[in-house]
Amino acid sequence: MANSPQAKKRARQNEARFAVNKARRSRIRTFLRKVEEAITSGNKEAAVAALRDAQPELMRGVSKGVVHKNTAARKMSRLSSRVKALA
């Protein structure tokens, strides 16, 4: 348990950041799930629109430090190639 005032403040800050990061991660996953659902339904227009909405959300996660840059790039690359493959 934190004893010094500084450590107590740090613990409070960590809890607050954890809550914010958790919400941001959840939001990113939701956007990615919408793209997945559009791909599985076979609707190319919906998939393209969902991908367009998901991209800035994923990049925002990178800039905020929630997702690693290469992870985001990999996810976008794989999703966009799957959307492109839809006929």
CATH number where 61 lies:
1.20.58.110
Give ∠ CA 16-21-27 in degrees, rounded to 5.
130
The domain in which residue 61 lies consists of 5-85
Number of domains in the chain: 1
pLDDT in tens, the chain (87 residues): 778 999 999 999 999 999 999 999 999 999 999 999 999 999 999 999 999 999 999 999 999 999 999 999 999 999 999 999 997
pTM of the model: 0.86
Distance, CA of 18 to CA of 28 (rounded, Å):
15
Question: Dihedral angle at the C-alpha atoms of 20, 22, 28, 30, nearest 10 degrees?
Answer: -120
